[in-house]
With several copies, the nearest count.
Chain A
Amino acid sequence: MRYLSHTQADRQAMLDVIGVESVDALFSPIPEALRATGLDLPAGLGELETRQHLEALAARNRIYGGASFLGAGSYNHFVPAAVRSLTSRAEFATAYTPYQAEVAQGTLQHIFEFQTALCELTGLGAANASMYDGPSALAEAAFLALRHNHRERILASAGLHPEERQVVATYASGPGFEVSTLDLDEDSGRTLVPTASELEGVGALLVRQPNFYGVIEDLRPLAEAAHDAGALLVVSQYPVTLGLLAPSAQVGADVAVGDVQPFGNARAFGGASAGYLVCRQDLVRQLPGRLVGQTIDADGKTAYALTLQAREQHIRRSRATSNICSNQALNALAATIHLALLGPRGLAELGEICVRRAHYLFEKLLEMPGIEPVFAGPFFNEFALRLPLPAAEFSQAMRARGVDPGVELARFSGGNGHRGGDRILVAVTEMNSPEDIGRYLTAARAVLAGETAPDPAAEEAPDA
């Protein structure tokens, strides 16, 4: 076994030091009745064979490259090689949570930088070191709000991602917090501003920006309504938009959450990436999870350390703000590095490319017979369409032509996905080149025309 170094001679010598006869003696504290007799698992494989097994699995997955137009919370953004190169450095990857600050300044400082970057993006005052993902960050943010204003009701926009809504509901089920829903305007797709009575007793108003259907919300009136009712506005965001759209604080958010997957983290079937949670400075003692603070060391040098730990489980135990212990530090690092490479201009440009390409594809698709937008509200790089045929059929026919055309919305009405429904959610990023978009259009036209045989050769170049 290549990962173990003891030889039998080592083992015997060590048993002698311990003063027992055999390895079995070491396990004497385990009652006889429980002593297992081996494992029903195959013998170990060498690295070559392990690789062959996993490579065969990877080959069973189908990768669409730039011809994938799926979003809905996981986006096809470019990850620069420097991000992989740096995050794979053993000093980052094989370290633990920075409990011994003196030998963990690397981790502590990059978390401090992550916190700073999130504050800059959102305009809010305090970010933590990361959460498991966007949805769980939203649930924790709702709890934060309820702790702050001592309430027990959560009002959730129908524009939340269905899965994040479910996560909030699951978290709320323990303490029994109530979660009710705020509808969308049928025309624009924007969240309707809640009335005072809807907000009665509500501690947290949860809104997604852009919302699940891609529509950019107008947050100011929602914030006002929430604040008038003594509730906090919690915004769940697609952070790429923050290079162009007004920062969260400016439009009234008290807490902002999201997932940094678009920054430096592969889609990886949905994980791992990192959630973030940023709040107003005055709410900092309600933050869940780790926080890094800057301080000075015994010699007066700038140094970093975990701070405000009295909020955390290992100190406060049952009165902690959350049970979170391990978070997603390495994924947060990937995001920090990617943001440092992008800089403010890069982030804005990235947003622009996404917006332009998405709007181009949108306009072109609307020219096709029977395709209609689901909502009229403004969108960034993702939009929902109504198709003249079942979405599952459309998707299958498109995939036969090498294009994964978008997420079938019926997937979220229960079941194992896409049965029935004519709506599809399409996302466009910098990875979908003009040629990929042309391919989408050609394929869609063929599918709508009822052509059966895929013709991978013919592609449409955009008339740029």
Chain B
Amino acid sequence: MLEMQPPIFARSRPGRRGFDLPAAGVPTPGGPEDRPGSIAGLLGEVEMRDEPPRLPELAEPEVVRHYTKLSQLNHAVDTGFYPLGSCTMKYNPKVNDELTGLPGFAELHPYQAVEDVQGTLQAMWELEQQLLELTGMRRASLQPAAGAHGELVGILMIRAWQRDRGEGHRDTVIVPDSAHGTNLATASMAGYKVVEMPSSAQGLIDLGSLKETLSRHQVSALMLTNPNTLGLFEEDILEISRLTHEAGALIYYDGANLNAILGKAKPGEMGMDVVHVNLHKTFSTPHGGGGPGAGPVAVGETLEPYLPAPLVARRPDSAGTGGAADLEGSADTYRSPEFYFEQERPKSIGRVRGFYGNVGVLIRALAYIISMGGDGLQQATEDAVLNANYLRARLRDTYEIPCDRMSMHEFVASAGRQKSYGVNARDVAKRILDSGMHAPSIYFPLIVPEALMIEPTETENRETLDAFVEVMRQIDRESREDPELVRTAPHTTPVRRPDEVLAARRPVLRWVPEDPVNG
């Protein structure tokens, strides 16, 4: 029974409770005479709350049932196919969740003494080494909490580098028009002007247009994604790299699509200066309905001094004993355990978050890479690309494929043909939901009309891919024979086409008890 639930606040009844706390168990030192032992007395001249916050009041069974039922309203990787392009919805191994939950990891405080945290530092160090091998870069920061956060780090590093060389006047970042929105938003957040370059007819970066843009603007950086958001490998990548560098700019490589090239090509060898990696995509950590992710940023020689501090480092001659003897003469450390934080990095752009990153996500990714091994990762890439091309080959009859060439881990189809029957990409997507599958990404990249961006990932088997093809064909048939059915889809979900216009026109962003809608 998939039924919508009232907001938890509407389930509240005064006086219920879901939690029993221990007694304070200590004597309370006297406060002022009139309020001895009271909390207000302890706190002194502080403004207290008049009324408690209206949090819900519920017993534990009610809370558990509420969220269990809410969860059932979600589609998820564990419940079905999720070919959401650019998002790499692959299987998230269960063992990685368990390992991250080990008390030795989960109960560690970020400011414990360095000799007390060697295990986690080693995990971070190992992950960094693995990412460097996979990307062909030199050093990485694990601090960014997501891909976009990594982008910001990358662009700020480029900016700092350029200012250092006296080129602070370079005020422009260029992106292909197929770029993900975060690329543009990142650049402007870092204070840049953004110039979008039109893609070539093949869906790739157009060298001519690149040259022209580089010459017409004070370009600081080019941001690109490779394979790009059409799932196509930028075949001219070496030339792009040469031209950009010659123009005095650096290249930011959006590594959200790294799943396509593990063991097949390395951004470092393409001449990229900085790369972010989405651990919550390629490296199988769960998306959590929107996070947490992690977006480590790896750099080459040019930008290494600018990485956010601190970095994790390993004493090269360390015996691995984690001892606590003093190390004379080191500016960065005061003890000599095997792993330590490199704090003093004078050119560093500084921190972009508190502490060290989404460490739990990092540990999951480490466990994944260890489990897969080099060969396994390469096989994953091969299967991801195989699956995408297989779907492309099988859907080609029924759906337009604007750039119908060998794709990498994803490809973009279009509902252009179906449009002529009165059914658009959104309608197709909604109708897919009726089959118990998730829809592809739609209307992205922007350069493909009625785009359906399909990324099956390597953890899907052939039966599932074939079933998806059947669904897509059926929807095509329906579009011709009964377009209304598709236009009014979905028909089997708990709700159907929430009114987004209403939501934006009259935003209801919180529950309020008076609101009759919530009863």
Contacts and interface: CB of A to CB of B under 8 A. Distances in A.
Query: Do chains A and B stick together as partners?
Result: yes
Contacts of B375: 39, 43-44
B98 A81 contact: yes
9 contacts: A1-B59, A63-B107, A116-B510, A174-B155, A303-B499, A304-B498, A322-B189, A326-B145, A344-B57
A26 B12 CA distance: 27
Contacts of A464: 25-27
A6 B345 CA distance: 47
Nearest to A101: B498
Given A96-B87, A378-B44, A266 B107 contact: yes
A2 B387 CA distance: 17
Given A143-B189, A347-B55, 9 more contacts: A3-B93, A13-B462, A80-B95, A267-B107, A270-B110, A333-B67, A340-B56, A344-B54, A350-B21
B404 to A, nearest CB: 12
A59 B343 contact: no
Nearest to A434: B25
Interface in A417-461: 417-419, 430, 433-434, 437
Given A55-B102, A61-B108, A294-B508, A82 B63 contact: yes
Interface string B47-61: 111101111111111
A323 B376 contact: no
Contacts of A430: 21-22
B105 A61 contact: yes
A120 B127 CA distance: 40
Interface stretch (A69-77, A191-199, A227-235): A69-77
Contact of A90 (B76, B342, B386): B76
Given A38-B378, A61-B119, A269-B109, A5 B16 contact: yes
A-B pairs, 9 with minimum CB distance: A270-B355, A58-B104, A44-B373, A330-B288, A60-B119, A174-B190, A270-B110, A329-B290, A344-B52
A50 B280 CA distance: 19
Contacts of A274: 291-292
Contacts of A318: 184-185, 187-188, 194
A127 B259 CA distance: 34
Given A341-B18, A434-B26, A44 B371 contact: yes
A367 B80 CA distance: 56
A372 interface: no
B70 A109 contact: yes
Interface in A65-121: 65, 68, 70, 72-74, 76, 80-82, 84-86, 88-107, 109-113, 115-117, 119-121
A98 B289 CA distance: 7
A21 interface: no
Interface string B165-197: 000000000000000111011111111101000
B355 A92 contact: no
A256 B357 CA distance: 22
Interface in B17-65: 17-29, 39, 42-50, 52-64
B72 to A, nearest CB: 6
B270 interface: yes
Interface in A271-299: 271-272, 274, 284, 290-299
Interface string A1-20: 11111111111011101111
Most buried by B among A251, A267, A310: A267
Interface string B392-425: 1110000000000110100000000000000000
B26 A136 contact: no
A209 to B, nearest CB: 10
A132 B191 CA distance: 21
Contacts of B17: 2, 343, 345-346
A307 B507 contact: yes
Interface in B189-247: 189-192, 194, 232-233, 235, 237-238
Nearest to A220: B47
Contacts of B270: 34
B109 to A, nearest CB: 4
A163 B386 contact: no
B350 A167 contact: yes
A237 B181 CA distance: 31
Nearest to B387: A14
Interface string A347-363: 11111110111011101
A267 B109 contact: yes
Nearest to B324: A396
A317 B350 CA distance: 26
A73 B355 CA distance: 9
Given A269-B109, A320-B185, A407-B111, A416 B104 contact: no
A130 to B, nearest CB: 7
A163 B351 contact: yes
Nearest to B369: A41
Contact of B26 (A25, A220, A305, A360): A360
B53 A121 contact: yes
Interface in B495-519: 495-500, 502-504, 507-511, 517-518
Interface residues of B, number: 230
A370 interface: no
B71 A91 contact: yes
A382 interface: no
B250 interface: no
B263 interface: yes
Contacts of B331: 415
Contacts, number: 810
B136 to A, nearest CB: 8
A412 B314 CA distance: 22
B110 A126 contact: no
A339 B55 contact: yes
Contacts of B235: 29-31
A66 B75 CA distance: 39
B477 interface: no
Contacts of A319: 188
A7 B16 contact: yes
A102 B493 contact: yes
A419 B5 CA distance: 55
B12 to A, nearest CB: 8
A109 B460 CA distance: 23
A324 interface: yes
Most chain A C-beta atoms within 10 Å of own C-beta, residue among B26, B287, B488 = B26
B283 to A, nearest CB: 12
A18 B382 CA distance: 14
Contact of A106 (B74, B93, B187, B406): B74
Contacts of A44: 20, 370-376
B344 interface: yes
A395 interface: yes
Contacts of B289: 92-93, 95-98, 104, 106-107, 110, 329-330, 333
Contacts of B310: 416
A242 interface: yes
A331 B280 CA distance: 15
Contact of A57 (B56, B123, B358): B123
A313 B507 contact: no
A159 interface: no
A293 B509 contact: yes
Nearest to B262: A39
Given A18-B389, A68-B109, A36 B70 contact: no
A226 interface: no
Contact of A35 (B7, B264, B287, B393): B264
A38 to B, nearest CB: 6
A359 B29 contact: yes
A161 interface: yes
A43 B290 contact: no
Contacts of A355: 39, 42-43
Interface in B421-435: 429-430, 433
A107 B290 contact: yes
A166 B353 CA distance: 9
Contacts of A106: 70-74, 289
Contact of B59 (A3, A19, A351): A3
A172 B350 CA distance: 11
